[in-house]
Chains A and B, each alone.
Chain A
Amino acid sequence: MTGSNQIMLEIRQVSKNFGGLNAVKEVNLSINKGEIFALLGGSGCGKTTLLRMLAGFESPSAGAIFIDGEDISQIPPHKRPVNMMFQSYALFPHMTVAQNVAFGLKQEKNRLAAPEIAKKVSKLLHLVRMQDFASRKPNQLSGGQRQRVALARSLAKKPKVLLLDEPMGALDKKLRSQMQLEVVDIIEAVGVTCVMVTHDQEEAMTMANRISVMHEGEIMQVGTPSEIYEFPNSRHTAEFIGSVNIFDAMVTQLEPDYTRLSCTDLTSPIQVEAGINAPIGASLGIAVRPEKITMTRVKPEQADNWLMGVVEDIAYLGGHSVYYVKLESGKRVMTIGTNNDRHEQKVTWQDKVYLYWSITSAVVLYQ
């Protein structure tokens, strides 16, 4: 997907202030040609403002945006080689599906003859499998159908960058997962570079090649979905993407191939692979994903990376269950157990259990 590493979109030191409020703070991003890139964050993190700056609806207070090497920061929206699929789709209610899709083509300076436009529109409607609805009005369509039309409309002008604002925001959960894959298929078939904004980490991980996690106007981390999940670089990212247990720990032993830390919540020390970039005595966060923690009834043999507690809560989720284990210190640790082992005696409420994880499972969080 990121076949050539040619940069299509570059955001350089872009900031945006709204009357003293810094919505976006000195953001730098490079997005490759053909890539699907997600801006992920909670509400008010600046992701939508950044997207609107790419579309031209807001202009950056500082910094510049380059598309295909050209500085577009001062170009008005209607002259940018960028098209957007709006959160609520913003289909023109007074036009048919075909007219909606044709709208962009009719605005071009060297606009095509009517039959050419009709041909293109029909091709686009085939692409999104809406060819049978060409003469319908938007209010006669279902949510998923509207989204396909909106997608076709935003692809009609072959934009250099396609912007998706919360693409699945208006759909119900079941339709969402189906449309996520479908939209990705279409985008990849067209080969357009795509920047999407979402608050849904699952959506970002399903659809995007790379994700940038935003928080309070800043970019916390950029990486592939698995990089962001496996190696979060901050507490915020670790907590935002999936579930995580974070232990506050202090460095006690530094070795070239491992580091040992002590945590007041645990009886055993924590050991992490490889040396870390902090002196002895430094306070750090240690993140362990619930599914990397194993639960047993017998005390594990390893000296480090284990704890003991009482099962306080069990959330049964069908294929697996989430266990909340309370430590002596009062801290709650989350772990996941699959529900496929029928032979073993099931762990239940108030059972005393041991949890342990391997040396490679923990991630050090500096901030």
Chain B
Amino acid sequence: MSLGRRSVIGVPYIWLTLFFLVPFVIVFKISFSEMAYAIPPYTDLFTWADEQLTLSLNLGNYGYLFTDDLYIRAYLSSIRIAAIATVICLFVAYPIAYVIARAEPATRNALLMLVILPSWTSFLIRIYAWVGILKNNGLINNFLMWLGIIDQPIAMLNTEFAVYVGIVYAYLPFMVLPLYTNLMKLDNSLLEAAADLGAGPWKVFMTVTLPLSKAGMIAGSMLVFIPAVGEFIIPDMLGGAETLMIGKVLWQEFFNNRDWPVASAVAIVMLLLLLLPITLFHRYQARELEN
């Protein structure tokens, strides 16, 4: 391999090593240490005393996660919320992606911009805006009360519903874009062939369009599901105290309890949980490429 080639490939590798692998190793290391009232607030794994190098691995942090059912509940609840939000996202994004992919080229770019444009604003501000929309004297409640449809404000903020709204809103582009790319590649003559062979529009969609967009659906779902599991801002700002998600627990361990080792263990377990869907996704992709 030439030097030029090696350096082109090398840059991303160096990047990933510096900003992904090294931090991960640090977190992994902390997860095996003990909490200490010190700076940083954990003990070293390696100690040097009396000409002896001691490696002390504390597995207690992982064991602790299973003694308190808070963690297990938080994991399960996170996965459930992320999964439901992903499905909602898929249902909302599919028609959007379909319409954009079928639109005239000039309209297509404008519609794509409408999907992407909101993400140019700060994520935090956009979620904060939802607080104003969903709260008891917020936009929706005030409007419905003004119309006279309701007398009492509907409690939307600080519910799981608000978390779904937030996740679907924030992660929609990540679902729309892979679906759009996939649907763009769909050969129109396949749809015509299906119609020609007697399939009505709905049947064409179910038997040709939908199965052929499977790769886009899976890619989009991964892009939504994986970050949604660890989401912190949305459940924190919109979900209130009731909503239990692992991102919030992580935050509390780090900043409220200042228990870095347990927090690190929480993060490592979350990563392991996400490894499963990611591996399945890669297997699927590899199989698709083979065909």
Look across to chain A and name the residue whose beta carbon is closest to the beta carbon of B214. A94
Known A78-B200, A93-B212, A94-B211: A86·B195 in contact at CB below 8 Å:
no
Known interface pairs A78-B200, A137-B291. Does A86 touch B192 (Cβ–Cβ under 8 Å)? Answer: yes
Complex alpha-carbon distance, A108 and B199, angstroms: 8
Task: Report the separation of the CA atoms of residues A88 and B199 in the bound assembly, to the nearest whole angstrom.
Answer: 20
**5 closest A-B pairs by CB:** A107-B198, A104-B197, A90-B193, A90-B189, A77-B195
Main SS of chain A's interface residues?
A: loop
CB distance from A348 to the nearest CB of B (A): 52
- Known: A88-B189, A137-B291. Contact between A55 and B196, CB under 8 A? yes
Contacts of A308 in B (CB 8 A): none
Q: CB-CB contacts of B174-192 with A at 8 A, as 1s and 0s?
A: 0000000000000101101
A156 to B197, CA, bound (A): 9
A83 within 8 A of B: yes
- Which residues of chain A are near B193, meaning CB under 8 Å? 84, 86, 90-92
Q: Shortest beta-carbon distance, A96 to chain B, in Å?
A: 12
Partner of B197, one of A76, A83, A88: A83
Q: Is the interface of B mostly helix, strand, loop or mixed?
A: helix
In the complex, A210 has a CB within 8 A of chain B: no
The reply to whether A90 and B190 contact each other, CB–CB distance below 8 Å, is yes
Residue B203, interface by CB 8 Å: yes
Answer whether A92 and B194 are a contact pair too, CB < 8 Å, given A78-B200, A107-B199: yes
Chain A, residue nearest B210 (CB) = A94
Chain A hits for B291, CB < 8 A: 93, 137, 139
Encoded as 1 (CB less than 8 Å from any B CB) or 0, chain A from 61 to 96 comes to 000000000000000111100111011101111100
CA distance in complex: A84, B194 (Å):
10
Q: How far is the CA of A55 from the CA of B195 in the complex (A)?
A: 10
A90-B187, A90-B189, A92-B208 known; A82 vs B196 contact (CB < 8 Å): yes
Interface flags, B64-99, vs A, CB<8A=1, else 0: 000000000000000000000000000000000000
Count of interface residues, chain B, beta-carbon cutoff 8 Å: 19
Q: Which residues of B contact A (CB under 8 A)?
A: 187, 189-190, 192-200, 203-204, 207-208, 211-212, 291
Partner of A90, one of B192, B199, B211, B212: B192
Q: When chains A and B are docked, how far (Å) is the Cα of A285 from the Cα of B259? A: 98
B212 engages A107 (CB within 8 Å): no
Residue A57 lies at the interface, judged by CB distance under 8 Å to chain B: yes
A157 at the interface (CB under 8 A from B): yes
Given A93-B291, A137-B291, 16 further pairs, Cβ under 8 A: A56-B196, A57-B192, A76-B195, A77-B196, A78-B198, A78-B199, A84-B196, A88-B187, A91-B193, A93-B212, A94-B211, A94-B212, A103-B199, A104-B197, A108-B198, A154-B197
- Check: A160 CB closer than 8 A to any chain B CB: no
A148 interface residue (CB < 8 Å to B): no
**Which residues from 14 to 65 on chain A have a C-beta closer than 8 Å to any C-beta of chain B?**
55-57
Q: Kindly state whether residue A199 has any CB partner on chain B within 8 Å.
A: no
Nearest-CB distance from B176 to chain A (Å)?
A: 23
Q: Which residues of B contact A92 (CB under 8 A)?
A: 190, 193-194, 208
**In the bound complex, CA of A104 to CA of B203 (Å):** 12
Asked whether A157 lies within 8 Å of B198 as measured between CB atoms, the reply is: yes
A103: which B residues are within 8 A, CB to CB? 194, 197, 199, 207
B211 near A157: Cβ-Cβ < 8 Å: no
- A289 interfacial contact with B, CB 8 Å: no
Distance in angstroms from B67 CB to nearest chain A CB is 48
Q: Closest approach, in angstroms, between the C-beta of A158 and any C-beta of chain B? A: 12
The verdict on A260 contacting chain B, using a C-beta distance below 8 Å, is no
Q: A94-B212, A139-B291 are in contact. Are A86 and B198 (CB under 8 A)?
A: no
Chain B hits for A88, CB < 8 A: 187, 189
A77 with B208: CB separation less than 8 A = no
Residues on B with C-beta less than 8 A from A157 are 197-198
With an 8 A cutoff between CB atoms, is A215 at the interface? no
Judged by a CB distance under 8 angstroms, whether A326 is at the interface is no
A94 to B199, CA, bound (A): 16
B211 near A153 with CB under 8 A, answer no
Chain A residues within an 8 Å CB radius of B203: 107
